[in-house]
Amino acid sequence: MAKRTITYADAGVDIGANARWVDTIRSSMSATFGPRVCNRHGSFAGMFRLDYEEILFRRNYRKPILVGCTDGVGTKVLLGISTGQLDGLGIDLVAMSINDLLTCGAEPLFFLDYLAVHKLDPAHLAVLVTGIAKGCEMSNCALLGGETAEMPAMYQKGHFDLAGFAVGVVEAHRQVDPARVSQGDIIIGLSSSGPHSNGYSLTRKLVSRRRLDRSMDELGESLADALMKPTRIYAEAVRQVMAHYRVKRVVTAMAHITGGGLPENVGRVLSPRLDAVIKTAAWSPPPIFAFLQSRGVDQDEMYRVFNMGIGYVLLVRPAFVSGVVRVLERAGEHPAIIGKIKRGRGKVILR
Amino acid sequence: MAKRTITYADAGVDIGANARWVDTIRSSMSATFGPRVCNRHGSFAGMFRLDYEEILFRRNYRKPILVGCTDGVGTKVLLGISTGQLDGLGIDLVAMSINDLLTCGAEPLFFLDYLAVHKLDPAHLAVLVTGIAKGCEMSNCALLGGETAEMPAMYQKGHFDLAGFAVGVVEAHRQVDPARVSQGDIIIGLSSSGPHSNGYSLTRKLVSRRRLDRSMDELGESLADALMKPTRIYAEAVRQVMAHYRVKRVVTAMAHITGGGLPENVGRVLSPRLDAVIKTAAWSPPPIFAFLQSRGVDQDEMYRVFNMGIGYVLLVRPAFVSGVVRVLERAGEHPAIIGKIKRGRGKVILR
């Protein structure tokens, strides 16, 4: 039913004994299937109807543009392994690609994962795939398929790596095109849950393993819990904004704040004649960032490595800011007006 | 221009010094772009027009079904590292997903890669990405984007892993549906170049590293050369067959022969009331398989682990076999009639 290929490096893996986990994986994949998934039993590929009604399809899409994104979770995987908190990593994986995909105004369609492991442990696999399926449900997209490769000679004992691929679609004339960004546009920030999936190579150097599980007053939770919070997925919020403004193109650009932080990622949507001026006092970063900074990282570096509490930004025409904020609030977000586009030289200025 | 994200685990990587390699990577990606790619500078996502002319699109696709596949190269990567032959691995990566995608009759559209490395070596990266771009050109699809993640704590020194993701499209009523396979259908096999990308965990146990580079009489080349031959891509051959029979549905099923060999992969397209009877005398496997078998693998195991010289099969209605064979020959293939569908119990019988 659900296509999921498992490549065994060696014979001797008793798939029968693992039937229970295979069922778990299958049912969590199937839970993401809408009427547009048309996978066939035993098929070599996952199949997805671009729209399930020809008339509906023609109404929505005259010049459909497909959007493709890929990303991994980086070394957050290693922290997940050492803390034993693997359930959020699947959401992280989906979030990294889906949030990228949203930035052009695309509707997420489907997702595929690649999971490479030292040794196949069906219980771990079920936790990871269930998390991926959960991320797909949060993104309103189908987990169309995946590949699990067992490679004991490549990965160390207990290690694994994850890669994700997302496909979406946007109608040509409705895509969000940063070429339209202009002076006066307002920057709305959506909060992150913490470092999301970036900066973990630095983070792992800053925190000692022994302190991970201890509850900490300044965090209100353990370091492990603060660091392993899943990446927020902004699909529903963005969908509601796009659906609310069907004709007017009020959103001029969006950015997913990942490695490189606000400076690099907001910088990607700026022309060489515009600056983005961001007031960092406009929001309060989750306490985990102050803790990490206190371990000896300077302020500029913090903003270059981490999202500092803003996971996603929308650039909006000034007249529509209060409307967009209302839509975002109804979608469950706590949007903050964090900055403005001014004449400049393509720089992101933090104040 | 071409979207390719590079995630650095640490600061200190001098991207300026590597500009030459970045240019190589960019130009090999751009070479795969047709008029349907509409990536924007700095974009978070790769963008692909489903068709670049609205009228053309509507003519070809009334109910488009998107097809998604993902796969890696398995432990062939490790043999590539130890032999220093990395240039074919990119083609292998593309082939693994694209050949899967072709089996439902889909036209390849675009490809994305995920490359995780111990340490970013731009020269190696350029070899790998150039190979991937070459594979995409052979598949007539665009290399729309990719992700390179540097993870020294995850991968051993000199190691890397590759994952690939392919998207294609097929018109609903033209898809190849194995439910149509019936008694009398003829099995046409297309030759492989060697083990392709499967069976390398076993292969690495069978061959000693010291013998890899020595030229061997029975192979007419070195073991390294025989084992590192890139996986054949059947996109052009399949495209020509599908284009030649636009109305008649003469191909009832196709299978990409990967891990599990002919028994498992041809088995995937059989209903429980049909057998596939394959005559192994109908073709000559490349000499590398006899060599591997001579290292102590029994015949059945060889056919379960390796493709044994047949990389792809088409099941064809008997009246059209000679026509399909002619089209395949014109496309540069050497097709062999290797078997037949008979009444049975869903088994693949090798004779």
DSSP string, A215-278: EETTTTEEHHHHHSPPPP--HHHHHHHHHH-SSS--EEEEEE--TTHHHHHHHTT--TTEEEEE
pLDDT tens readout for residues A254-310? 999 999 999 999 999 999 999 999 999 999 999 999 999 999 899 999 999 999 999
Residue A271: list chain B partners with CB under 8 A: none
Alpha carbon of residue A20 to chain centroid:
29
The whole-angstrom distance between A268's CA and the closest CA on chain B is: 5
Residue A160: list chain B partners with CB under 8 A: none
pLDDT tens readout for residues A192-223? 999 999 999 889 888 877 789 889 999 999 99
Closest chain B residue by Cα to residue A254: B44
| Whether A110 and B163 lie within 8 Å, measured CB to CB | no
Residues near B328 by beta carbon (within 8 Å), at least 6 away in sequence: B188, B190, B237, B240, B241, B335
What is the CATH class of A178-350? alpha beta
The whole-angstrom distance between A215's CA and the closest CA on chain B is: 27
Residues near A65 by beta carbon (within 8 Å), at least 6 away in sequence: A106, A169, A170, A171, A172, A175, B38, B47, B48, B49, B50
- With bands split at pLDDT 50, 70 and 90, how would you rate the model's confidence at B56? low
User: Does pLDDT of A15 surpass 60?
Assistant: no
| Whether B10 and A255 lie within 8 Å, measured CB to CB | no
pLDDT tens readout for residues A104-132? 999 999 999 999 999 888 888 899 999 99
What is the CATH class of B9-174? alpha beta
pLDDT tens readout for residues B144-164? 999 988 888 889 998 999 999
The whole-angstrom distance between A112's CA and the closest CA on chain B is: 7
Q: Which of B42, B167, B268 sits opposite A269 (nearest CB)?
A: B42
Closest chain A residue by Cα to residue B155: A155
| Whether B49 and A71 lie within 8 Å, measured CB to CB | no
Residues of chain A with CATH 3.90.650.10: 178-350
User: Does pLDDT of A61 surpass 70?
Assistant: yes
Using the structure block, give the residue that is written with the tokens 């090999």. B28
Residue B89: list chain A partners with CB under 8 A: none
CB atoms within 10 A of CB A17: 9
- With bands split at pLDDT 50, 70 and 90, how would you rate the model's confidence at B57? low
| Whether B66 and A48 lie within 8 Å, measured CB to CB | yes
> At B200, is the secondary structure helix, strand, or coil?
helix
| Whether A155 and B151 lie within 8 Å, measured CB to CB | no
Tell me which of B46-60, B260-274, B276-290 is least confident.
Answer: B46-60
| Whether B145 and A70 lie within 8 Å, measured CB to CB | yes
- Percent of chain A at pLDDT exceeding 70: 92
Residue A136: list chain B partners with CB under 8 A: none
Residue B180: list chain A partners with CB under 8 A: none
Q: Which of A57, A104, A112 sits opposite B45 (nearest CB)?
A: A104
Q: Which pTM does this prediction carry?
A: 0.93
Residue B57: list chain A partners with CB under 8 A: 63-64
| Whether B201 and A153 lie within 8 Å, measured CB to CB | yes
The whole-angstrom distance between A83's CA and the closest CA on chain B is: 16
Residue B50: list chain A partners with CB under 8 A: 50, 63-66, 169
Residues near A144 by beta carbon (within 8 Å), at least 6 away in sequence: A3, A37, A39, A46, A47, A48, A110, A111, A112, B68
- With bands split at pLDDT 50, 70 and 90, how would you rate the model's confidence at A58? low
pLDDT tens readout for residues A26-43? 888 888 988 888 887 778
> At B146, is the secondary structure helix, strand, or coil?
strand
Q: Which of A62, A161, A259 sits opposite B154 (nearest CB)?
A: A161
Neighbouring-strand partners of residue B147:
B5, B114
| Whether B44 and A146 lie within 8 Å, measured CB to CB | no
Closest chain A residue by Cα to residue B254: A44
- With bands split at pLDDT 50, 70 and 90, how would you rate the model's confidence at B51? confident
| Whether A57 and B74 lie within 8 Å, measured CB to CB | no
Residue A38: list chain B partners with CB under 8 A: 65
Nearest-angstrom CA–CA distance, A258 and A276? 17
Substitution target in A165, A180, A238, A266 with the highest count of B β-carbons within 10 Å is A165
Alpha carbon of residue B64 to chain centroid:
23
The whole-angstrom distance between B214's CA and the closest CA on chain A is: 24
| Whether A65 and B38 lie within 8 Å, measured CB to CB | yes
Using the structure block, give the residue that is written with the tokens 């900074």. A293
Nearest-angstrom CA–CA distance, B318 and B334? 18
User: Does pLDDT of B246 surpass 90?
Assistant: no
Q: Which of A106, A147, A204 sits opposite B70 (nearest CB)?
A: A147
Substitution target in A66, A238, A256, A268 with the highest count of B β-carbons within 10 Å is A66
Task: Tell me phi and psi for residue A278, to 5 degrees.
Answer: -115, 130
The CA angle B152-B153-B154, to the nearest 5 degrees, is 95
Closest chain A residue by Cα to residue B36: A65
Between B9 and B325, where is the model more confident? B325
Residue B70: list chain A partners with CB under 8 A: 112-114, 145-147, 165
Alpha carbon of residue A95 to chain centroid:
2
> At B175, is the secondary structure helix, strand, or coil?
coil
Residue B103: list chain A partners with CB under 8 A: 43-45
| Whether B65 and A77 lie within 8 Å, measured CB to CB | no
CB atoms within 10 A of CB B154: 25
User: Does pLDDT of A12 surpass 60?
Assistant: no
Residues of chain A with CATH 3.30.1330.10: 9-174
Residue B169: list chain A partners with CB under 8 A: 50
The whole-angstrom distance between A50's CA and the closest CA on chain B is: 6
| Whether B70 and A110 lie within 8 Å, measured CB to CB | no
**pLDDT of A124:** 87
The complex's ipTM works out to 0.92
Q: What is the average per-residue pLDDT within A167-186?
A: 94
pLDDT tens readout for residues B71-130? 999 999 999 999 999 999 999 999 999 999 999 999 999 999 999 999 888 888 899 999
Nearest-angstrom CA–CA distance, A42 and B270? 9
- With bands split at pLDDT 50, 70 and 90, how would you rate the model's confidence at A4? low
User: Does pLDDT of A17 surpass 60?
Assistant: no
- Helices and strands (DSSP H and E) totals, chain B: 12, 14
